[in-house]
Each structure stands twice: as structure tokens, then as C-alpha cells.
Structure 1
Amino acid sequence: MCISFISSKSEETKRLEQRRNRFTNESTATINRPIKSINEPNQPLIGTCEKLEKNYLRLTSAPDPSTIRPLAILEKSFSFVIDKYKSNNDWSYVNSQLKSIRQDLMVQTIRNDFTVLVYEENARIALEMNDREQFIQCQTQLEILYDSGCNNTHLQEFLMYRLLYLLLLNDYKKVNRILIGIDQVTKSDDLNITLEFCSAFRRKNYNQLFILYKHLPRLACCLVNLFIDIYRKQTIEILIWAFLPTFPIEIVTTMLVYESNEICQEHLHSLGVKFLDNTMLIDCKTSRTSFNKN
């Protein structure tokens, strides 16, 4: 009786042990089962998508080749998107499309002359549309691409934009580095005007600064426009403390390159500048106490 009980208990223990081992082996097999990768390791991703238009979506997982366009399709897509933008000037559309093209280039590690073309054109359109964030993203990548030996035909143009941007941010350390490099290149007329603008800016010669601003290349003007109201404000503060009792708005409009007296007056009002009743004369004394310095 006792022997039978011990034997039964021994058999039950064996069964439990076998069940435990089977469960452990199955769990380990499940845990260690390799995840299938879309691409073979160490192999460059090559897309297979053939869509010319594809909206930008932030990647949240490994890229799928079926959603990525290869270089040949990207070249066609770029031409198609730019032509469409020229006909409708839809920044929201072209911004999404160009970001998508840039993303497809990036995930396939394509860094060639076509990549430079995409970033250059994207940067120019971003300047036209006053999109500072997209311009900076493109400008940063262009520095890397130029340094890596890609086509730098337009290096001077983008060197000019980088110089102006850093100057207007008052980042003189980086400005000085660029100026040292510029000394070693043949300067175009556009670059020479930009250098004169930089010189006037550093000397705080705002009168000369705004004269030169009117002669900057078109896209360089677009870049300066991102910051211009900051320096208009500084100049206006100087004027209301330098003159009494009044100062004509027509001179401010011309000096600070506003499009009209009305636009100038609207901006001055937003800064707290006061005018004599029913006139276009700035009341300098009253404006000194109401001027918004923030």
C-alpha cells in the first residue's frame, strides 16, 4: 500500500517535470525565434515604389522597400513636383512632396549630385515661402553634401545665405569662420554686395544697411526678411530719441524700405509709436514713453 503510494507519487512527479520542461522549451523557442527583417543585413535598401507623388509621413519603423521610391523614380518625381509647383505655387503641397523625396533619398543612403539638386531647390522655395525651419534643414544637409565632394556649382550662393543667416543671429564666431573661407574663393557681384551688407551690419550703420538690403539678390532679401523687423525696430528707437518734436513717416518708409506709408504706420503703431492727430508725423516725445522695447 505504501509502496504503491510512493510509486504513484514518483510517476506524478515525473509527469510534472516533463510538462515543466516542455513548457520551458516552448517558451524559449518562442522568445528566441528570429524576427524576419525586410532587408538582408548589411545590404543597402532599394525601393520599389513607382509613385511620382507621395505625401511625407514620419517613419516610425524600419522602412518598407515597397513604400520607398528608387533613384530613377525620384528623379522623375522631382521634375513632376517642381513643374506642378510652378503652376500652382502651393507651398503645402510642394513642401510635403519634397520632404518625402528627401526621406526616400536618406533611407537609401543616396548622396549624389541629384541629392544636392533636391536640397538646393527645396531651400530656395523655403526662402520664398518664409519657411525658416525647412530652409535650415536643407542648408545643414547641403553643407554636409558639399564637404563630401558632391556637385558644388552653387556653393557661393548657399555660402552667402549661410553667412547672412548666421550674421542676423549675431553668431559672429561662425561668421568669422565663413569669412576666412570666402577670402579663398573668387567673389561674384552678389557675394560682394552681401559682404558689404555684413560690414554695415557689424558697424551698426543701419542707414547703409537698408540701402544695401535693396540691392541684395532676391532670395537673400527673402532671408533678411525673416529678421528685418528686428532691425527696423532698433532703428526706429534711435530715430525717436534723436529727433524732436516730430519726424515724418515718409522718411521712415523710404529709409527702412517699407512698401508704403500705410504699412509703415501700421508697424509703428504695433511698436507703440504715437502720431500727431490726423497727421503722418511721428510724435517723438510721446513715443519715447510708449515705445515697446520687448
Structure 2
Amino acid sequence: MYSHAPWAQQPPPIPPAPGTAGSYSPYQAPAYHTVQVRQSFNQAPMAYAPYVQQQPPPPPATSPEEPKKKMTWPEPVRDYVRRSFDPNNLYADVDRSDMEKKLKQTISTATDNHTIDTIDWASLPLPQQMIRTERTRLSWQRESVNMHLNGNGHNDLSTSKKRKSQDIGGGDDENSSSTSTPPWRNTNSRNGLEDRVSFQSPAKDRFEKHQQPFQEDKASKFQKNLEKRQRRFDGGYKSTYKQSPSPEPTSGPVVGTCQVLEKKYFRLTSAPIPSQVRPESILRQTLELLKKKWKKEGNYSYICDQFKSMRQDLTVQRIKNDFTITVYEIHARIALEKGDLGEYNQCQTQLRALYAQIPGGNPVEFKAYRILYFIHTSNRTALNDMLADLTTAEKEAQAIKHALDVRSALALGNYHRFFRLYLDVPNMGAYLMDMFVVRERLAALSNMCKAYKPDVSLRFITEELGFESDADAAQFIYDYNGQTLLEEREEGIRVLTGKAGTTFEAAKAAAFKKVDIKGQI
């Protein structure tokens, strides 16, 4: 046995000294010299190298493998996968391999982030739609960068202009080539005026060459800012419409073939598919169904989503008739009832254009709403423009006449007449007046505290300011820190107007300082 064998881990037993009991001390010096094993091939070879090479590596420690658990996807995820591969949802310009890769990436990301159970898979865009959106976004970014560079004097500007002129049939003549030189350029003047006017001088070439890195840095910075802006807008999948093309194809309107009455609203990220658009006959049935559901259930979030989907189907098919007006009018009234000024303004804007093109509908009713809305927003310029467009017959109509009386009462400071008009509003104008009646009550109460001293009855304020009961009037005073202004006496509750001071004046100033506008017409 070799004493220097590298695998020798334990020293051989040392024989006991003569006369001992046969045991030995473990601290006695070993009878061999240890040798370090070569760590790399760069070291000098040793005599025991063959033994090192023949020694097999120790087997790795193995542990019994745990059985893999079978992943079970939630039902919404499985439905999402089924819809992704539905032939009706496939796009010819999106490869199946790209779609599968995007689908796997989406599900894996949701699994890793532990959001697979919280994502609304029913409204999440399909993978093929995501791919189209990304393509559109990248194309839009490239165009934006090119426009930015060209707008800063980049040399590509002249190239793009030439390409355009060639595309429309111009610039094919040999004399108009970019490499040809005009006859007046062939002069013998060494310092001709045209060198300084029409052509770049060598000094200018050197300057632009020196400036080119700075232009590239500027373009790179612009690109980074653009990507940041895109990421901010793309939190979720709600803002993809900002990069989407026009929902209407250039070849003509879509003719829908979908026969489903109820359909969720989705923002279009590409040209609409006829199989997902309902024709007018189906939309008429949908409208009747929605009117019944609104009366029975009153679920505004559902009704609003369904009406937006109907409006989208009408838009992509370019349907503009009396039925289109009816859809927008009903949706506007429901939005008014729920105080949704954003949806109301969208409908009102479309109705204004439809009334100018198509006879029918209720233009007088919605013109009265516009007057009240401009009073609410204190938009005097738009209000004056609208009043100038009213005909004599429209001014005599009940709804418009009432709205004009409201405007006149506020202009004259006649709060008594204003609240009489507030209690008798035609159609659904009361919902709009509710939006600015609080500030007008504060203004009227501020004036009453200056005119009626030392006190007035609570009943007088109830009648003058159009409250439904004395309790509502008292609560209104309480809400604006007027607890100390109410005093109960034998003849009833009195409001101490003489002690009001600047209480309601400050509340009035704050109310007129800011108007909450959720949407503009």
C-alpha cells in the first residue's frame, strides 16, 4: 500500500511500544507525509496523478423526489383559453405559435404574481388581440420617433418628401433625380452665392456631423420618455384604445351578423369583426330588453355597459337614423338620473350632431338640458352662443322657456323665483338643477342673513329655499356649522340670522369657487 495514496483518509494504526498495554496515543506523529491533491491542470504533474484520475467522483446526495402536484386551472382561465382558440376569434395575421406563446406568458405571469384568481378573465383581451395591440403600439412609436427626428431638422426629412412624391407619380424624370445637378450649379465661381443659400457648405457639414451624436442622444431620450408614458397608460388592459386604429374600416361600414341580444362592451383595438357586431334588427330587440331590465332591476353598471356596447355597434356600422337618436336619448336620461355627467356628455355631444343631420327625436328637451348644464358649469360663453342659435319657436317651448327663466332669475339674484322654478321642472331637468341648487341655497341664505335680523322662522327658510321639510332645512344649516344659529321657542324654531356673521358667506364663496365637471360637452 502506498503511504501517499490520495484516498487514504485514516492513518494506519501505530504499533504499541514495547511494554505497554497495547493501546496507543492518538497524538503520536503519523508515519507518513500528506501530499496535497492537484487542484487544476496548470500545476506540475505528480506521481500519484493516475490514481487521482481513476478515482470516481462521489455520487451526489439524492433525496426522494416529491410527486408533482397536478395544476388545476380555475374555470375562468379555462374559458379564456377556449375563447382564444375559438375559430371565430382567430386572426389571419397572427400565427398560432405566437398566440400560444403569448397565452402561456399571460397565464404564467398571473400565476407567478398570485393574481390568477383576481384577474377578470372575461374582460381580458385575448392573446391575439394583445399581439395586434403591441404591433400597433410599436408602429405608432416608430412613427412618433420619426416625426420627432424629422421635425428637428434631421436629414431624413428630404428623403421622406422625395419618397412621397415618387409614390404619387412625381419625381420619376431623370432630371429630377436627387443625384442630378441643376444647370446653374455648374458655374465656375468658386465662392458662388448659391453655395451659401441652397447647398450645405463643408463647414456646415462638419457642424452637423459634430451635432449628430447630440441629436441621437436627444432621440434616445425621447424614446425612453415615450416608453415610460406608454407603460403608465398601459396599467392593465384598459387604455389600449389610445393606440388603436380607427374602429371603422376604410373600405366601408361593417354589416353585423351577431344574433346575441346582450353583449359586453369592449374597446376596439382593431377593425371590428362582423360576427361580433349586431345588426339593427337585433339592436332594436336589445333596446326593448334593456328598458324592461332597467325598470325591473335598476342595475346602472350593467345598463350603462350594454348601452355603450349598442352605441359602438351603431357607430361601426354607420347607422344614423331615428333609432340611433332613441338609443342616445335613453342612455342620456339614465345617466342624468344617476348623476353620471361623463356618459351624459358623450350622449349629448352625439345627439347635437344627430339632430343637425336627421329629423326626429326630442331636440327641444335636450337643448333645455344644455342650458341648465351651462348654468351648472358657469360657462357663460357657451351659454350665450347657444342662446343666439335658438329660434323664436324654440324659445316658446315649455322646457327651453323654463331653462331661460332659471337663467334670468339667477342673473337678477331673484332666489324666490329661482326656487319656485326648481320645484316645477319639466322632463328630467331637476336632476341637472340638483347639481347646483346647494350653492344657490348658500347664496340665498347669505343674503337672507343680511336682510332679516335678528332672526327668522325655520319654516320661512324651508319655503323660500325649496326644502321638502323643516327637518331638511335644519339639517342643511347644521351641515354648514350653524348649530348655534337654531333656537327653539314657543312659536317654533327660529334661525338667529343676526349671529350668522360670515358663516354662510364663507360657505358660499367656497361653493362658487370650484365646479366639479366630470365631462365636457
Q: Which sits farther off after the overlay, 43-52 or 228-237?
A: 43-52
> Does structure 1 residue 172 correspond to structure 2 residue 380?
yes
Select which of 365, 369, 386 maps to 1:157.
365
Contact 1:126 1:135 in 2 (8 A): yes
Question: Is the 2:376–2:432 contact (alpha carbons within 8 Å) kept by the matching residues of 1?
Answer: no
Contact conserved, 1:193 with 1:215, CA < 8 A, in 2? no
Aligned to 1:103: 312
Q: Which residue of 2 aligns with 1:208?
A: 417
Q: Structure 1 residue 40: deviation in Å?
A: 7.3
SS in 2 for 1:281: strand
Amino acid at match of 1:120: E
Unpaired segments ≥5 residues, structure 2: 1-91, 95-131, 133-246, 511-521
| Distance apart, 1:115 and its partner CA | 0.8
**Which residue matches 1:18?**
none
Residues of 1 paired with 2:403 and 2:479: CA distance? 30
Letter of the 2:383 counterpart = V
Task: Return closer, same or farther for 1:269/1:71 CA change in 2, 3 Å cut-off.
Answer: same
Higher helix share: 1
**CA separation of 1:161 and 1:86: change in aligned 2, threshold 3 A:** same
User: 1:81 offset after TM fit, Å?
Assistant: 0.6
Superposed, 1:261-280 pairs within 5 Å as 261-274=470-483, 275-278=485-488, 280=493
> Is this contact kept in 1: 2:326–2:361, CA < 8 A?
no
Which one of 265, 274, 282 corresponds to residue 495 of structure 2? 282
Q: Matches of 1:93 and 1:172 in 2, distance apart? A: 36
| Identity across matched positions, percent | 33
The verdict on how the C-alpha distance between 1:72 and 1:260 changes in structure 2, with shifts beyond 3 A counting, is same
Amino acid at match of 2:257: T
**Which protein has greater RCO, CA pairs closer than 8 Å, 6+ apart?**
1
Letter in 1 for 2:375: L
* Paired letter, 2:279: P
280-289 or 122-131, larger mean C-alpha shift: 280-289
> Does residue 299 of structure 2 align to residue 86 of structure 1?
no
Pick from 212, 230, 237: which aligns with 2:446?
237
- Alpha-carbon deviation of 1:278? 4.4
Alpha-carbon contact 2:487-2:496 (below 8 Å) kept: no
Contact kept, 8 Å, 2:257 with 2:274, in 1: the verdict is yes
**Is the CA contact (8 Å cut-off) linking 1:47 and 1:67 kept in structure 2?**
yes
Which consecutive aligned stretches of 4+ in structure 1 deviate over 6 angstroms post-superposition?
Answer: 36-40
C-alpha distance in structure 2 between counterparts of 1:176 and 1:201, whole Å? 15
Larger Rg: 2
Q: Quote how far apart the aligned CAs of 1:56 are.
A: 2.5
Aligned pair in 2 of structure 1 residues 79, 150: CA closer, same or farther (>3 Å)?
same
Q: Tell me how large the CA RMSD over aligned residues is.
A: 2.5
Q: Would the aligned equivalents of 1:249 and 1:265 in 2 still touch at CA under 8 Å?
A: yes
Cα contact 1:168–1:227 (8 A) shared by 2: yes
SS state of the match for residue 500, structure 2?
A: helix
CA-CA distance at 1:206 after TM superposition: 1.3
Give the 3 Å change call, closer, same or farther, for CA 40–163 of structure 1 in structure 2: closer
Q: Is the 8 A contact 1:273 1:282 kept in 2?
A: no
Tell me how far apart the structure 1 counterparts of residues 304 and 409 of structure 2 sit (CA, whole Å): 34
Structure 1 position 208, deviation (Å):
1.0
Q: CA deviation at 1:156?
A: 0.9
The amino acid across from 2:495 in the alignment is I
Look up the equivalent residue of 1:191 and give its one-letter code: I
Would you say the 8 A contact 1:272–1:287 is kept in 2?
no
Aligned partners of 2:424 and 2:450: how far apart in 1?
A: 29
How far did 1:53 drift?
Answer: 1.3
Instruction: Look up the SS of the partner of 2:407 in the other structure.
Output: helix
Residue 283 of structure 2: aligned partner: 74
Give the Å deviation of 1:155: 1.1
Contact 1:47 1:66 in 2 (8 A): yes
Q: Distance in 2 between matches of 1:105 and 1:40?
A: 14
User: Secondary structure in 2 aligned to 1:258?
Assistant: coil
* Structure 1 residues 176-191: aligned runs within 5 Å: 176-186=384-394, 187-191=396-400
Do the aligned residues in 1 keep the contact of 2:249 with 2:271 (CA within 8 Å)? Answer: no
| Secondary structure of 1:232's aligned partner | helix
Q: Which residue of 2 aligns with 1:7?
A: none
**Equivalent of 1:47 in 256, 262, 282:** 256
**Following TM superposition, by how much is the alpha carbon of 1:61 offset from its aligned partner in structure 2, in angstroms?**
4.1
Taking structure 1 as reference, are residues 41 and 121 closer, same or farther at Cα in structure 2, changes over 3 Å only? closer
* Equivalence for 2:129: none
Counterpart residue type for residue 312 of structure 2: Q
What secondary structure, in the 3-state scheme, does the structure 2 residue paired with 1:140 have?
Answer: helix
SS of match in other structure, 1:52:
coil
Residues 269 and 94 of structure 1: CA distance in aligned 2, closer, same or farther (over 3 Å): same
For 1:83 and 1:213, the matched residues in 2 are separated by 30
Q: Distance in 2 between matches of 1:44 and 1:157?
A: 31
C-alpha displacement of 1:263: 1.7
Give the superposition deviation at 1:268.
Answer: 1.8
Distance in 2, Cα, partners of 1:218 & 1:143: 18
Q: What is the SS of the residue equivalent to 2:495?
A: strand
Measure the CA separation in 2 of the matches of 1:216 and 1:139: 19
User: What is the aligned residue count?
Assistant: 260
TM norm structure 2: 0.46
The answer as to 2:407 corresponding to 1:194 is: no
Q: CA deviation at 1:123?
A: 1.2
**Structure 1: stretches of 5+ with no match in the other structure:** 1-33
Contact kept? 2:333, 2:428, Cα under 8 Å: yes
Retained in 1: the 8 A contact 2:402–2:425?
A: yes
Single out whichever of 271-280 and 87-96 deviates more from structure 2: 271-280
Distance in 1 between residues matched to 2:458 and 2:474, nearest whole Å: 7
Summarize deviations over 1:11-70 as a string: whole Å, max 9, x none: xxxxxxxxxxxxxxxxxxxxxxx9479997513222222221123233344433332212
